[in-house]
Amino acid sequence: MPTNEVIQGLGLDDYKFGFVTDSEPVFRTRPGLDAEIVRQISERKDEPEWMLKRRLKALRIYDAKPMPDWGGDLSELQETLDQTYFYVKPQEQMERSWDDVPENIKQTFERLGIPEAERKLLAGVGAQYDSEMVYHSLKEEWESKGVIFDSIEDGLRNHPELFRKHFGTVIPAADNKFAALNSAVWSGGSFVYIPPGVELETPLQAYFRVNQERLGQFERTLIIADEGSRAHYIEGCTAPVYSTDSFHSGVIEIIVNRDAFFRYTTIQNWSNNMYNLVTQRARVHRGAHMEWLDGNLGSKLTMKYPSCYLMEEGAHGEIMSIAYAGDGQHQDTGGKVIHVAPNTSSSIVSKSISKGTGRSSYRGLCKVYDGATNAKSNVECDALLINETSRTDTFPYIEIDERSASVGHEATVSKVGDEQLFYLMSRGMDEAEAMALIVRGFIEPIAKELPLEYAVELNRLIELEMEGSVG
Amino acid sequence: MNDAAILSVAGLRAKVADEDLHILKGVDLVIRPGEVHAIMGPNGSGKSTLAKVVAGHPAYEATGGSVTFRGEDLLDMEPDERSQAGVFMAFQYPVEIPGVSIANFLRTSLQARLEDDEELDLFDFQELLMERMELLDTDPSFAQRPVNDGFSGGEKKRNEILQMAVLKPSLALMDETDSGLDIDALKIVAQGVNTLRQENPDMSVLLITHYQRILNYIIPDMVHVMFKGRIVESGGPEVAMELEARGYEEYRKAHVA
Ligand SMILES: Nc1ncnc2c1ncn2[C@@H]1O[C@H](COP(=O)(O)OP(=O)(O)O)[C@@H](O)[C@H]1O
Ligand SMILES: [Mg+2]
């Protein structure tokens, strides 16, 4: 096992996104949550009556549902939520040009490299700051082809029928406690529509930044990829390091229509004081293809299981995830695939790394309904433990009601061994370099799927994490 | 005389680090620049342990004696420092590093030799790698495979020699590199080693083997016989011939007596 110097936890100071921006919100609700606060949020957004009703109903569901007693430790969450600002509005209105975004907020995103990435590699960018999208823009080329990429609020305002037809149909409020919470207080997130046959050549990206201390961020995203379309959506998130805990609970609903292809990539790099409880689900139609690529690097506790509901013949779902749990972190992640129709196929590949007192859990569900003939599913989860104090668990649930289904499951746990370290060191690498190379090799099958700048970021992070004060 | 030695092992005793199990019980060995020394001996006699202690394996602890490399105390150095100083060990049982290509692995090894602010020139590296693979009659696609992952025994050994050829050590510890190689592969490996020695006439080799066969291609200056943690006989190439004919029986008898 590696020496103590090398495996010493990463001080939070290594987290380069931990800076705070000095900005005054234009409005915020008082801490805590009740019906009045939900009304205030809806009013601020100038919403139709039906949405307010939905929100209030969702709040009742949220109040009625108990805290989950599985997954991570949520015993102190209620206390955090009582202190949380559920809605913080950073600026008067969302802008379509960075020039119109208030200077300090704009600088925040510049430090995060967003405008630059937008110019170079993206079809469109949305930037959320605390509770609202402060910027949203789509390149003219795609707008003229009928692509819609807007804040969720503008989606509701400008495309009321399309919105109402799909909103909450993939993830109803009653799905789980945090989906209910999000349905009550959602704010920010994207509304995306890709018209039939349109193939986006570069990704859309939404970036989520929390700045306010004790904020709850509840973005809501609704994506409809229409027949034969093709697109890739990337989500990134970071926050300052505060001594108090913050809370993030998003809901992402995706509808992938016939023969469409959609990939949703998340690089979650929250600071280590963040609860990150997210519900992501895609409904996949005939011959369509959905991929979740999920990187969970930050947060205090993440509970997140992207899922694919394979509703029609030939639908395909893939979930690839990397979780990194450093000191004090718990990544409870995995995926769910639900086979409802014949000849559907799915695969889950999950890799986790636990270091120091970090803990990672794989939690997955593979369900095949009766009549989903010849459904095929394969699950592979691999855990790498860096230290004796690191921990990993696997909770694979498999429910099969169809005889012709074929389902495979494979799980491995490995430790970075002395033999591996010595082998690399005997070639001239120091212990931290050796460790970083082993870890990078371990995640390589998934890292190579990441957009380049994120792969580079991930490598940098691993190097930082493995570096200690050797010597 | 020892000043001229590239490697000087004197009275070396070593045990398993976290056990009271002594393996090396006083080993003496002097290798001068450019020399090839072979070590033979039955399984379990401590040959690999000697190589690993010289390379700095943390599973072993030196409890007495010294190991000096070009006048420096090796036992005081980390394995990576020894590697950077010019020691290379070709492993008897190379380890798998999934997801890391041989090219990436070697690039990282070479980068580690540079100062923090220096970047390895990737073009030069590619050129070196290609040239070294050609030398060992290895297909270029080999460098894209993950290190030792799913390799045959012979491929693993070839990979060790490729690494050695790229890293260009001044002392090569080759631990049973010949085991499991067919005669063609053996010739390529031997030819590779000999080319490296021509390129750097000061390069020394400590060759651990069970078979006299490889010594037909890499001619040793000295052959040592190791038995129960000690070198019990040293001589010229003829020692290997005799061992091949007679086996280790007489050492066993002598040991019992
Ligand atoms: N790490 C270890 N732990 C316990 N015993 C060991 C260890 N390494 C070597 N040994 C023992 O020491 C002896 C010498 O081993 P080794 O050096 O591998 O022999 P050789 O290479 O000559 O076959 C053997 O009996 C072996 O079982
Ligand atoms: Mg051996």
What is the DSSP annotation of A118-172?
HHHH-SEEEEEETTEEEEEEE-HHHHTTT-EEEEHHHHHHH-HHHHHHHTTTSS-
CA distance B100 to B112: 16
Say if residues A421 and A7 touch (Cβ distance below 8 Å). Answer: no
Q: What is the mean pLDDT of residues A39-52?
A: 97
Pick B80's closest partner by Cβ from A425, A438, A444: A425
Judge: B108–A443 Cβ closer than 8 Å, yes or no.
Answer: no
The phi and psi torsions of A282 (rounded to 5 degrees) equal -125, 140
Chain A within 8 Å of B109 (Cβ-Cβ)? Answer: yes
| pLDDT at A14 (0 to 100) | 65
CA distance A182 to A248: 10
pLDDT at A283 over 80: yes
CATH topology of domain B7-92+170-256: Rossmann fold (3.40.50)
pLDDT in tens, chain B (257 residues): 445 899 999 999 999 998 999 999 999 999 999 999 999 999 999 999 999 999 999 999 999 999 999 999 999 999 999 999 999 999 999 999 999 999 999 999 999 999 988 999 999 999 999 999 999 999 999 999 999 999 999 999 999 999 999 999 999 999 999 988 999 999 999 999 999 999 999 999 999 998 889 999 999 999 999 999 999 999 999 999 998 888 888 888 877 65
How many A/B residue pairs have CB atoms within 8 Å?
Answer: 79
Judge: A428–B84 Cβ closer than 8 Å, yes or no.
Answer: yes
pLDDT category at A469 given cuts 50, 70, 90 is very low
Q: What is the pLDDT of residues A174-217, one digit of tens each?
A: 999 999 999 999 999 999 999 999 999 999 999 999 999 999 99
| pLDDT at B1 (0 to 100) | 43
Atom of ligand 1 nearest to the CA of B226: 22
pLDDT at A354 over 60: yes
Pick B95's closest partner by Cβ from A423, A429, A444: A423
- What is the chain A residue with the closest CA to B96? A420
**Owner of token pair 């009013």:** A43
Judge: B55–A426 Cβ closer than 8 Å, yes or no.
Answer: yes
pLDDT at A424 over 90: yes
pLDDT category at A18 given cuts 50, 70, 90 is confident
**Owner of token pair 């805290």:** A67
pLDDT at A460 over 80: no
Mean pLDDT (chain A) is 92
Chain A within 8 Å of B97 (Cβ-Cβ)? Answer: yes
Helix axis angle for A177-185 and A35-44, nearest 10°, is: 50
Atom of ligand 1 nearest to the CA of B43: 23
How far CA B90 is from CA of A106, A393, B113, in Å, comes to 55, 37, 19
Q: Which residues line ligand 1 (CB under 6 A)?
A: B 16, 21, 23, 41, 43-49, 59
Give which of B92, B101, B109, B166 to mutate to test A binding, by max A Cβ within 10 Å. B109
pLDDT at A17 over 90: no
**Owner of token pair 């695939």:** A337
What residue's CA is closest to ligand 1, atom 27?
B44
Q: What is the mean pLDDT of residues A80-107?
A: 94
**Hey, which of B21, B39, B206, B209 would you mutate to test ligand 1's pocket, going by the most ligand atoms within 8 Å of its Cβ?**
B21
Q: How are beta strands B60-69 and B72-73 bridged, if at all?
A: antiparallel
- Angle among Cα A102, A105, A111 to the nearest 5 degrees reads 135
- What is the chain B residue with the closest CA to A417? B95
Q: How are beta strands B97-101 and B87-90 bridged, if at all?
A: unpaired
CA distance B211 to A30: 82
| pLDDT at A471 (0 to 100) | 24
| pLDDT at B231 (0 to 100) | 96
Chain A within 8 Å of B91 (Cβ-Cβ)? Answer: yes
pLDDT category at A431 given cuts 50, 70, 90 is very high
| pLDDT at A5 (0 to 100) | 39
Atom of ligand 1 nearest to the CA of B208: 21
Cα-to-centroid distance, B69 and ligand 2 (Å): 22
Which of residues 153 through 212 in chain B touch A, CB cutoff 8 A? 163, 167
The three-state DSSP-derived secondary structure of chain B is CHHHCCEEEEEEEEEECCCCCEEEEEEEEEECCCCEEEEECCCCCCHHHHHHHHHCCCCEEEEEEEEEECCEEHHHCCHHHHHHHCEEEECCCCCCEEEEEHHHHHHHHHHCCCCCCCCCCHHHHHHHHHHHHHHCCCCHHHHHCEECCCCCHHHHHHHHHHHHHHHCCCEEEEECCCCCCCHHHHHHHHHHHHHHHHHCCCCEEEEECCCCHHHHCCCCCEEEEEECCEEEEEECCHHHHHHHHHCCHHHHHHHHC
| pLDDT at A16 (0 to 100) | 80
Atom of ligand 1 nearest to the CA of B60: 1
What residue's CA is closest to ligand 1, atom 25?
B44
| pLDDT at A305 (0 to 100) | 97
Say if residues A42 and A52 touch (Cβ distance below 8 Å). Answer: yes
With a CB cutoff of 8 Å and minimum separation 6, the contacts of B157 are B90, B94, B177, B178, B179, B180, B181, B185, B189
Spatial CA neighbour of A134 closest among A169, A102, A163? A102
Chain A within 8 Å of B55 (Cβ-Cβ)? Answer: yes
pLDDT category at A98 given cuts 50, 70, 90 is very high
| pLDDT at B180 (0 to 100) | 85
- Angle among Cα A95, A96, A97 to the nearest 5 degrees reads 95
Which tokens go with B45?
């006699």
Q: E strands along A2-160, which residues? A: 27-28, 88-89, 124-129, 132-138, 148-151
| pLDDT at A11 (0 to 100) | 32
Cα-to-centroid distance, B44 and ligand 2 (Å): 7
Q: What is the mean pLDDT of residues A390-415?
A: 95
CA distance B74 to chain A (A): 13
For residue B54, list chain A residues with Cβ-Cβ distance below 8 A. Answer: none
Pick A429's closest partner by Cβ from B55, B99, B112: B112
Give which of B48, B60, B100, B149 to mutate to test A binding, by max A Cβ within 10 Å. B100
Q: Side chain identity at A128, as an amino acid letter?
A: Q
What residue's CA is closest to ligand 1, atom 20?
B44
| pLDDT at A4 (0 to 100) | 38
- Identify the contact set of chain A against chain B, taking CB-CB distances under 8 A: 417-420, 422-431, 433-434, 437-438, 440-445
A36-61 burial code (b ≥16 CB/10 A, e <16): ebbebbbebbebeeebbebbeebbeb
| pLDDT at B256 (0 to 100) | 67
**Owner of token pair 């995640």:** A443
CA distance B145 to B143: 6
**Hey, which of B45, B47, B49, B89 would you mutate to test ligand 1's pocket, going by the most ligand atoms within 8 Å of its Cβ?**
B49
- What is the chain A residue with the closest CA to B167? A427
Name the segment(s) of chain B with CATH classification 3.40.50.300.
7-92+170-256
Cα-to-centroid distance, A230 and ligand 1 (Å): 59
Rounded to two decimals, the pTM is: 0.87
CA distance A130 to B112: 42
Q: What is the mean pLDDT of residues A135-157?
A: 96
Is A57 strand, coil or helix?
A: helix
Chain A within 8 Å of B120 (Cβ-Cβ)? Answer: no
CA distance A104 to A107: 5
pLDDT category at A121 given cuts 50, 70, 90 is confident
